[in-house]
Amino acid sequence: METRTADPAAEAPHGPATAVEAELPEAAGATTAASDRRDDLTGRLSDQLLGLSRRLHRAQRRRLDPLGITPAQARLLRALSHWDAHGAEPPRMADLAQRLEVVPRAVTTLVDALEERRLVRRAPDPSNRRVIRIQLTEGGRGAVQELRQARRTAAAEILSPLDDDGRAALTRLLAVLDQEEPEGTGAPH
Protein backbone atom coordinates (compact mmCIF):
# COMPACT_ATOMS: atom_id res chain seq x y z
CA MET A 1 0.00 0.00 0.00
CA GLU A 2 1.30 3.31 -0.98
CA THR A 3 1.34 6.17 1.42
CA ARG A 4 0.74 9.58 0.06
CA THR A 5 1.71 12.81 1.65
CA ALA A 6 -1.16 15.19 1.68
CA ASP A 7 -0.39 18.25 -0.38
CA PRO A 8 -3.38 20.57 0.00
CA ALA A 9 -2.53 22.54 -3.12
CA ALA A 10 -2.18 19.38 -5.19
CA GLU A 11 -5.38 17.80 -3.89
CA ALA A 12 -7.48 20.96 -3.99
CA PRO A 13 -6.88 22.71 -7.27
CA HIS A 14 -9.56 25.22 -6.29
CA GLY A 15 -8.18 25.93 -2.82
CA PRO A 16 -8.16 29.41 -1.28
CA ALA A 17 -5.19 30.78 -3.22
CA THR A 18 -6.52 29.54 -6.54
CA ALA A 19 -10.04 30.86 -5.87
CA VAL A 20 -8.73 34.36 -5.13
CA GLU A 21 -6.57 34.29 -8.22
CA ALA A 22 -9.54 33.12 -10.29
CA GLU A 23 -11.71 35.97 -9.01
CA LEU A 24 -9.16 38.72 -9.70
CA PRO A 25 -9.59 38.84 -13.45
CA GLU A 26 -13.39 38.95 -13.05
CA ALA A 27 -13.15 41.68 -10.40
CA ALA A 28 -10.75 43.62 -12.58
CA GLY A 29 -13.11 43.20 -15.53
CA ALA A 30 -16.06 44.38 -13.45
CA THR A 31 -14.07 47.36 -12.21
CA THR A 32 -13.00 48.20 -15.76
CA ALA A 33 -16.59 47.88 -17.00
CA ALA A 34 -17.87 50.12 -14.19
CA SER A 35 -15.10 52.62 -14.92
CA ASP A 36 -15.95 52.57 -18.64
CA ARG A 37 -19.65 53.16 -17.86
CA ARG A 38 -18.70 56.03 -15.52
CA ASP A 39 -16.44 57.52 -18.20
CA ASP A 40 -19.21 57.21 -20.81
CA LEU A 41 -21.74 58.79 -18.44
CA THR A 42 -19.32 61.59 -17.54
CA GLY A 43 -18.64 62.28 -21.21
CA ARG A 44 -22.35 62.36 -22.01
CA LEU A 45 -23.06 64.62 -19.06
CA SER A 46 -20.23 66.94 -20.10
CA ASP A 47 -21.69 67.18 -23.61
CA GLN A 48 -25.17 67.86 -22.19
CA LEU A 49 -23.92 70.60 -19.85
CA LEU A 50 -21.95 72.29 -22.64
CA GLY A 51 -24.92 72.07 -25.01
CA LEU A 52 -27.29 73.45 -22.39
CA SER A 53 -24.89 76.28 -21.60
CA ARG A 54 -24.68 77.19 -25.29
CA ARG A 55 -28.46 77.14 -25.64
CA LEU A 56 -28.81 79.38 -22.60
CA HIS A 57 -26.22 81.83 -23.94
CA ARG A 58 -27.96 81.97 -27.34
CA ALA A 59 -31.35 82.53 -25.69
CA GLN A 60 -29.90 85.28 -23.49
CA ARG A 61 -28.14 86.92 -26.44
CA ARG A 62 -31.45 87.05 -28.36
CA ARG A 63 -32.99 88.88 -25.44
CA LEU A 64 -30.00 91.21 -24.95
CA ASP A 65 -29.91 92.31 -28.60
CA PRO A 66 -32.99 94.56 -28.33
CA LEU A 67 -31.40 96.22 -25.28
CA GLY A 68 -28.28 97.03 -27.30
CA ILE A 69 -26.04 95.47 -24.66
CA THR A 70 -23.36 92.93 -25.51
CA PRO A 71 -22.78 89.90 -23.26
CA ALA A 72 -19.45 91.41 -22.13
CA GLN A 73 -21.14 94.71 -21.25
CA ALA A 74 -23.85 92.76 -19.40
CA ARG A 75 -21.18 91.00 -17.31
CA LEU A 76 -19.62 94.34 -16.40
CA LEU A 77 -23.00 95.82 -15.46
CA ARG A 78 -23.78 92.78 -13.29
CA ALA A 79 -20.40 93.12 -11.57
CA LEU A 80 -21.05 96.80 -10.87
CA SER A 81 -24.51 95.91 -9.63
CA HIS A 82 -22.94 93.49 -7.15
CA TRP A 83 -20.78 96.27 -5.68
CA ASP A 84 -23.74 98.64 -5.72
CA ALA A 85 -26.12 96.20 -4.01
CA HIS A 86 -23.69 95.53 -1.18
CA GLY A 87 -23.07 99.21 -0.50
CA ALA A 88 -19.41 98.72 -1.28
CA GLU A 89 -17.17 101.46 -2.56
CA PRO A 90 -17.45 101.59 -6.37
CA PRO A 91 -14.66 99.59 -8.01
CA ARG A 92 -11.63 100.81 -9.88
CA MET A 93 -10.96 99.60 -13.43
CA ALA A 94 -8.36 97.17 -12.03
CA ASP A 95 -10.96 95.74 -9.61
CA LEU A 96 -13.36 95.14 -12.48
CA ALA A 97 -10.66 93.56 -14.63
CA GLN A 98 -9.79 91.18 -11.81
CA ARG A 99 -13.43 90.31 -11.13
CA LEU A 100 -14.16 89.70 -14.82
CA GLU A 101 -10.81 87.95 -15.36
CA VAL A 102 -9.90 90.15 -18.32
CA VAL A 103 -7.10 92.57 -19.07
CA PRO A 104 -7.64 96.16 -17.88
CA ARG A 105 -7.74 97.46 -21.47
CA ALA A 106 -10.85 95.34 -22.11
CA VAL A 107 -12.58 96.99 -19.15
CA THR A 108 -11.67 100.44 -20.46
CA THR A 109 -13.34 99.63 -23.79
CA LEU A 110 -16.47 98.33 -22.04
CA VAL A 111 -16.68 101.30 -19.69
CA ASP A 112 -16.22 103.72 -22.62
CA ALA A 113 -19.18 102.16 -24.46
CA LEU A 114 -21.39 102.05 -21.36
CA GLU A 115 -20.46 105.58 -20.34
CA GLU A 116 -21.41 106.80 -23.82
CA ARG A 117 -24.87 105.31 -23.24
CA ARG A 118 -24.97 106.91 -19.76
CA LEU A 119 -25.24 103.54 -18.00
CA VAL A 120 -22.04 104.07 -15.99
CA ARG A 121 -19.91 107.03 -15.04
CA ARG A 122 -16.32 107.57 -14.02
CA ALA A 123 -16.02 109.35 -10.70
CA PRO A 124 -12.92 110.50 -8.82
CA ASP A 125 -12.24 108.72 -5.55
CA PRO A 126 -12.99 111.20 -2.73
CA SER A 127 -9.87 110.18 -0.80
CA ASN A 128 -7.48 110.03 -3.77
CA ARG A 129 -8.32 112.11 -6.82
CA ARG A 130 -5.85 110.15 -8.95
CA VAL A 131 -8.05 107.07 -8.56
CA ILE A 132 -11.11 106.76 -10.81
CA ARG A 133 -14.03 104.65 -9.68
CA ILE A 134 -16.77 103.27 -11.92
CA GLN A 135 -20.37 103.75 -10.80
CA LEU A 136 -23.73 102.65 -12.12
CA THR A 137 -26.04 105.48 -13.07
CA GLU A 138 -29.80 105.31 -12.58
CA GLY A 139 -30.00 104.29 -16.24
CA GLY A 140 -27.45 101.57 -15.54
CA ARG A 141 -29.51 100.25 -12.62
CA GLY A 142 -32.55 100.14 -14.90
CA ALA A 143 -30.50 98.30 -17.54
CA VAL A 144 -29.41 95.74 -14.92
CA GLN A 145 -33.07 95.08 -14.09
CA GLU A 146 -33.84 94.59 -17.78
CA LEU A 147 -30.83 92.27 -18.07
CA ARG A 148 -32.02 90.21 -15.11
CA GLN A 149 -35.45 89.88 -16.68
CA ALA A 150 -33.91 88.88 -20.02
CA ARG A 151 -31.78 86.22 -18.31
CA ARG A 152 -34.75 84.87 -16.34
CA THR A 153 -36.90 84.73 -19.46
CA ALA A 154 -34.15 82.88 -21.34
CA ALA A 155 -33.69 80.45 -18.44
CA ALA A 156 -37.45 79.88 -18.16
CA GLU A 157 -37.51 79.00 -21.85
CA ILE A 158 -34.73 76.44 -21.43
CA LEU A 159 -36.15 75.02 -18.18
CA SER A 160 -39.77 74.89 -19.37
CA PRO A 161 -39.84 71.07 -19.61
CA LEU A 162 -39.15 70.85 -15.84
CA ASP A 163 -41.83 71.25 -13.19
CA ASP A 164 -41.08 72.96 -9.86
CA ASP A 165 -39.83 69.71 -8.28
CA GLY A 166 -37.54 69.07 -11.25
CA ARG A 167 -36.15 72.60 -11.05
CA ALA A 168 -35.57 72.26 -7.31
CA ALA A 169 -33.78 68.91 -7.85
CA LEU A 170 -31.61 70.41 -10.60
CA THR A 171 -30.79 73.39 -8.36
CA ARG A 172 -29.67 71.03 -5.59
CA LEU A 173 -27.50 68.99 -7.96
CA LEU A 174 -25.88 72.07 -9.49
CA ALA A 175 -25.26 73.50 -6.02
CA VAL A 176 -23.33 70.34 -5.13
CA LEU A 177 -21.21 70.72 -8.27
CA ASP A 178 -20.78 74.44 -7.59
CA GLN A 179 -19.91 73.65 -3.96
CA GLU A 180 -22.52 75.93 -2.50
CA GLU A 181 -25.60 75.37 -0.42
CA PRO A 182 -28.91 75.10 -2.29
CA GLU A 183 -31.27 77.99 -1.69
CA GLY A 184 -33.78 77.53 1.08
CA THR A 185 -31.75 75.03 3.14
CA GLY A 186 -31.14 77.55 5.88
CA ALA A 187 -27.40 76.97 5.66
CA PRO A 188 -25.28 80.11 5.91
CA HIS A 189 -23.62 81.29 2.70
pTM of the full structure: 0.66
pLDDT at site 57: 87
pLDDT tens digit sequence for 148-165: 999 899 999 999 999 999
12 versus 75: the higher-pLDDT residue is 75
3-state secondary structure the chain: CCCCCCCHHHHCCCCHHHHHHHHHHHHHHHHHHHHHHHHHHHHHHHHHHHHHHHHHHHHHHHHHHHHCCCHHHHHHHHHHHHHHHCCCCCCEHHHHHHHHCCCHHHHHHHHHHHHHCCCEEEEEECCEEEEEEEEECHHHHHHHHHHHHHHHHHHHHHHCCCCHHHHHHHHHHHHHHCCCCCCCCCCCC
- pLDDT grade, residue 84 (50/70/90)? confident
